[in-house]
Amino acid sequence: MNELAVIIASTLNAGTALALAALGLLINERSGIVNLGAEGMMLVAAIAGFATGVQTGSDSLAFVAGAATGAFMALCFGVMVIWLNTNQYATGLALSLFGTGFSAFVGVKYTQEKLSERHGFKLPVLGDLPFVGPAFFRQHPMVYIAVALAVALGWFLYRSRRGLVLRAIGESPESAHALGYPVRRIRLLAVVTGGALCGLAGAYLSVVYTPLWVEGMVAGRGWIALALTTFATWRPARVLFGAYLFGGVTMLQFFLQGEGVQIASQWLTMLPYVATIVVLVLMSRKPEFIRINMPASLGKPFFPGS
Amino acid sequence: MFRLEARPEPSRLMSVLSPVFAVAITLLVGVALFSILGKDPLDGLFVFFVEPVKTAYGLSELAVKATPLVLIALGLAVCFRSNIWNIGAEGQFILGAIFGGGVAIHATETSNKLVVVLILLAGMLGGMVWAGVVAVLRDRFHTSEILVSLMLVYVADMLLSYLVYGPWKDPNGYNFPQSITFASTTQIPKLIAGYRTDIGVLVALALVGVFWVFVFRTYAGFQLQVGGLAPAAARYAGFSARRAMWTALLVSGGMAGLAGALEVAGPLGQLTPYVPAGYGFAAIIVAFVGRLHPVGIVLSATLMSMFYIGGELAQSRLGLPKSVTGVFQGLLLFALLACDTLVTYRVRFTRTRAARAGAPLVGAEAVKSEGGTG
């Protein structure tokens, strides 16, 4: 019973970084833009957050630094993709490659650093409940923020006028442009918001999840988050579900090792990546199914007046 | 202020100049970076661009690092030209190293010299298998080749790690995660005694020629490119998109695998967890900066190889982290993509808003509603 509570708690913890990043990517993909730079943004934000955490000792400032870093990198990406009309895939890839190199470069000084000991978090009353308490209510606040964000995003996309505009731009930027919406500015806003959330996810990894800085520590989570948006057919609630599913797969390796299962650790480390491929295969099997849900202009450039 | 205006057709001049501009921008940022870090920028440039070509040893090292980059980038150029986004060449490189290395550890000092050929063929097969997985999944299940090929990099990395920590670990290697040192018969023949450069350089240069012929002078190469530029036209002409996809992925996988086998049987001589050195990712930049053209790829691979060697020297001479290489690589691709805008668009400097009020309504409307002035 207690063991199960620990598994649930660690799954939520592991899934949160994925959820934050994937929800961010969902926003910019809803506006029709794919940002393959998620991995790079998360890495640079991870070191920015960690460095801020070490210097100031404040978690909140670390998260702000991470989000700001992600937003700034996404801004550079957005200006190039939206105004200079560069190829989205190539530019995102450039962001990821740059982020990998840059984070390793600035992170060298921080590989030996440690963050101050943090105390456990616990919600009053709820945290004291048997089983449910340790499983759900003794998490870092960011875990609940991710859940709230998914709910808020669901409301925004399907129940608010601005969300409708965002979706319209993702479906047909030409029509939205003809209606007088500032397509490019809204797209940029969506991209920057997505970057900020990826940055938050990166900072969560280095400040709360590990909490350490190791070169390349995001370990493909940015790419898995990209796959999650497809898996979730661009719906916030399903993104959250998918993120916890993958969090669970990540935790499975530690659980199996703890249980003394005789298998080389490499096979277990492989699990999340193989699971991503399997999930992509299952989801993409029927192209019609993906196409119904996918923002129609996803990945396509929009350049008014050409 | 200025705005961008589509050119009637892409500028050939700009298409050649854009990589030059990109390198210049990267250099400027590099100089700024060195200054900020309190290093003499001239020392920095010297370490990156003069030191590697000063001695025969330096030139040989330059070739050692440029060879895998050229090989992988040639394959990727075929992929990118046919609009297949294989970004997992690093994984295909690792599989090539595993397959090639698998043959090499079974060779003995008395093996026939031709075992080298077998190693290289095995490497190609390994890369093709890994890229083949991407092709099968894309063909049968319509999965994104971007995400699948990238995920397979992590899987390949773990596979290599499993082998060198497990079944292929050298029993007399003091428990280090590494395979036995391969028998001398598996060694790729050196080009010049005393230097690390081997005949891999010649293989790469020969393949540059082969690729030029394939891309620009064969019907299959033409079909691939039409499919990449205008899928609808290719369909109308009856060119098979499936065959193009398979060809592109298998060719690029095979090339990356070949590079991996050349690397383990050449400069490395054994399998370790440090076989993947990022060549697969750097080659993406090499392919783009080289304009997806075989000759351009040779030039950009040489430049990228300088970045690698310069990064190592910067660590020992200037006390900068080696990862400065990655920073420059990423910057270069960024700068190139930005400069490439000039190939299809030209910059028009516009007057103030008041003066523009007299412009035709459609243009003014488009500019206003988009804030399209910058």
Taking the mean position of all CA atoms in its chain, how far away is CA B71?
8
Tell whether A248 is covered by a domain. yes
Q: For B80, which residue in chain A has the nearest alpha carbon?
A: A90
Contact residues on chain B for A223, CB-CB shorter than 8 A? 147, 150-151
Q: For A277, which residue in chain B has the nearest alpha carbon?
A: B148
Are the C-beta atoms of residues B92 and B130 closer than 8 Å to each other? yes
User: Would you state the structure tokens that stand for residue A200, as one six-digit string?
Assistant: 């938050």
Taking the mean position of all CA atoms in its chain, how far away is CA B53?
21
B64 and B4 assigned to the same domain: no
- Is A178 an interface residue toward B (CB < 8 Å)? no
The mean of the pLDDT values for chain A is: 92
Span A271-284, average pLDDT: 92
Closest Cβ–Cβ partner in A40, A86, A182 for B370: A182
- B9-62 pLDDT, tens digit per residue, is 888 898 889 999 999 999 999 899 889 988 888 888 888 888 888 889 999 999
A120 confidence band (pLDDT: 50, 70, 90): confident
Determine the residue among A34, A97, A177, A253 to mutate to test chain B binding: the one whose Cβ has the most chain B Cβ atoms within 10 Å.
A97
The span from the CA of B209 to the CA of B348, in Å, is 40
Please check the confidence at residue B372 and state whether its pLDDT lies above 70.
Answer: no
The span from the CA of A37 to the CA of B265, in Å, is 34
Q: How far is CA B219 from CA A181, B251, B292, in A?
A: 46, 16, 18
Nearest Cα residue to B248 out of B150, B147, B128, B362: B128
Are the C-beta atoms of residues A34 and A92 closer than 8 Å to each other? yes
Q: How far is CA B322 from CA A107, B22, B315, in A?
A: 12, 22, 5
A126 confidence band (pLDDT: 50, 70, 90): confident
Q: How far is CA A280 from CA A228, A286, B137, B241, in A?
A: 9, 11, 9, 21
Q: What's the confidence (pLDDT) of residue B371?
A: 42
Are the C-beta atoms of residues B98 and B160 closer than 8 Å to each other? yes
Number of Cα atoms under 13 Å in the Cβ half of residue B59: 7
| Domain that includes residue A43, residue range | 2-117+126-293
The span from the CA of A223 to the CA of A279, in Å, is 13
Minimum distance, in Å, between the CA of residue A9 and any CA atom of chain B: 26
Instruction: Work out how many domains chain B is built from and give that number.
Output: 2
B284 and B256 assigned to the same domain: yes
Tokens 């980059």 — which residue?
Answer: B69
Minimum distance, in Å, between the CA of residue A158 and any CA atom of chain B: 25
The span from the CA of B57 to the CA of B307, in Å, is 16
Tell me the β-bridge partners of B346. B5
CB–CB contact A276 B147 (8 Å) = yes
Q: A–B: how many Cβ contacts below 8 A? A: 164
- A146-179 pLDDT, tens digit per residue, is 999 999 999 999 999 999 999 999 999 999 999 9
Tell whether B227 is covered by a domain. no
The span from the CA of A152 to the CA of A161, in Å, is 14
Cα-flanking dihedrals φ and ψ of residue B346, to 5°? -120, 155
Span B188-213, average pLDDT: 93
Span A17-29, average pLDDT: 97
Q: For A180, which residue in chain B has the nearest alpha carbon?
A: B369
- B235-270 pLDDT, tens digit per residue, is 999 999 999 999 999 999 999 999 999 999 999 999
B263 and B372 assigned to the same domain: no
A residues 229-248 closer than 8 Å to B (CB): 230
B370 confidence band (pLDDT: 50, 70, 90): very low
Span A200-226, average pLDDT: 94
Tell me the β-bridge partners of B348. B3
Crossing angle (nearest 10°) for helices A2-30 and A141-159? 40
Determine the residue among B334, B345, B347 to mutate to test chain A binding: the one whose Cβ has the most chain A Cβ atoms within 10 Å.
B334
Question: Which of B300, B319, B338 corresponds to the end of one domain?
Answer: B319
Q: What's the confidence (pLDDT) of residue A3?
A: 81
Tell whether A278 is covered by a domain. yes
Closest Cβ–Cβ partner in A80, A98, A287 for B142: A287
Q: What's the confidence (pLDDT) of residue A172?
A: 94
Number of Cα atoms under 13 Å in the Cβ half of residue A46: 34
- A46-68 pLDDT, tens digit per residue, is 999 999 999 998 999 999 999 99
Contact residues on chain A for B139, CB-CB shorter than 8 A? none
B137 and B195 assigned to the same domain: yes
B352 confidence band (pLDDT: 50, 70, 90): low
Q: What's the confidence (pLDDT) of residue A159?
A: 96
The span from the CA of A184 to the CA of A83, in Å, is 8
B366 confidence band (pLDDT: 50, 70, 90): very low
Give the count of beta carbons closer than 10 Å to the beta carbon of residue A286: 12
B127 and B82 assigned to the same domain: yes
Are the C-beta atoms of residues B107 and B115 closer than 8 Å to each other? yes
Contact residues on chain A for B370, CB-CB shorter than 8 A? 177, 182-185, 304-305
Determine the residue among A88, A231, A270 to mutate to test chain B binding: the one whose Cβ has the most chain B Cβ atoms within 10 Å.
A270
Higher-confidence residue: A186 or B8? A186
Minimum distance, in Å, between the CA of residue A167 and any CA atom of chain B: 18
B125 and B174 assigned to the same domain: yes
A residues 115-174 closer than 8 Å to B (CB): none
B residues 93-132 closer than 8 Å to A (CB): none
DSSP string, B289-346: HTTT-HHHHHHHHHHHHHHHHHHHHIIIII---TTHHHHHHHHHHHHHHHHHHHHHEE
B62 and B195 assigned to the same domain: yes
Tell me the β-bridge partners of B2. B349
B98 and B191 assigned to the same domain: yes
Minimum distance, in Å, between the CA of residue B238 and any CA atom of chain A: 22
B155 and B300 assigned to the same domain: yes
Contact residues on chain A for B321, CB-CB shorter than 8 A? 104-105, 108
Please tell me what DSSP assigns to residue B3. E
Nearest Cα residue to B334 out of A282, A265, A87, A155: A87
Q: What share of chain B is helix, strand, coil (3-state, %, to 5)?
A: 70, 5, 25
B337 and B304 assigned to the same domain: no
Tell whether B46 is covered by a domain. no
- Is B143 an interface residue toward A (CB < 8 Å)? yes
Give the count of beta carbons closer than 10 Å to the beta carbon of residue B29: 16
Tell whether B196 is covered by a domain. yes
The span from the CA of B318 to the CA of A238, in Å, is 50
Instruction: Work out how many domains chain A is built from and give that number.
Output: 1
- B282-334 pLDDT, tens digit per residue, is 999 999 999 999 999 999 999 999 999 999 998 888 888 888 999 999 999 99
The residue length of chain B stands at 374
Higher-confidence residue: A241 or B359? A241
Find the range with the poorest average confidence among A151-160, B56-65, B211-220, B340-349: B340-349
Amino acid letter at B369?
S
Minimum distance, in Å, between the CA of residue B111 and any CA atom of chain A: 33
Q: What's the confidence (pLDDT) of residue B361?
A: 44
Q: What's the confidence (pLDDT) of residue A119?
A: 67
CATH number at residue A102: 1.10.3470
Q: What's the confidence (pLDDT) of residue B303?
A: 94
- Is A87 an interface residue toward B (CB < 8 Å)? yes
Please check the confidence at residue B351 and state whether its pLDDT lies above 70.
Answer: no
The span from the CA of A133 to the CA of A123, in Å, is 8
The span from the CA of B123 to the CA of B97, in Å, is 6
**Strand residue runs (E) in chain A:** none
B82 and B104 assigned to the same domain: yes
B192 confidence band (pLDDT: 50, 70, 90): confident
A residues 183-202 closer than 8 Å to B (CB): 183-185
Residue B92 CB partners (closer than 8 Å, separation 6+): B126, B127, B128, B130, B131, B156, B252, B253, B256, B257, B260, B280
| Domain that includes residue B129, residue range | 57-209+244-319
A127 confidence band (pLDDT: 50, 70, 90): confident
B147 and B281 assigned to the same domain: yes
- Residue A80 sits at the vertex; the CA angle it makes with A75 and A84, to the nearest 5 degrees, is 140
Please tell me what DSSP assigns to residue B190. B
Tokens 């997806």 — which residue?
Answer: B292
Q: What's the confidence (pLDDT) of residue B347?
A: 85
- B93-133 pLDDT, tens digit per residue, is 999 999 999 999 999 988 888 999 999 999 999 999 999 99
Question: Which of B319, B338, B359 corresponds to the end of one domain?
Answer: B319
Tell whether B52 is covered by a domain. no
- Residue B274 sits at the vertex; the CA angle it makes with B270 and B276, to the nearest 5 degrees, is 100
Q: What's the confidence (pLDDT) of residue B356?
A: 52
Are the C-beta atoms of residues A40 and B298 closer than 8 Å to each other? no
Taken in order B6, B7, B9, B14, the sign of the CA dihedral is negative
Please check the confidence at residue B373 and state whether its pLDDT lies above 60.
Answer: no
Tell whether B252 is covered by a domain. yes
- B129-144 pLDDT, tens digit per residue, is 999 999 999 999 999 9
Contact residues on chain A for B159, CB-CB shorter than 8 A? 266, 270
Q: How far is CA A178 from CA B98, B253, B353, in A?
A: 55, 45, 21
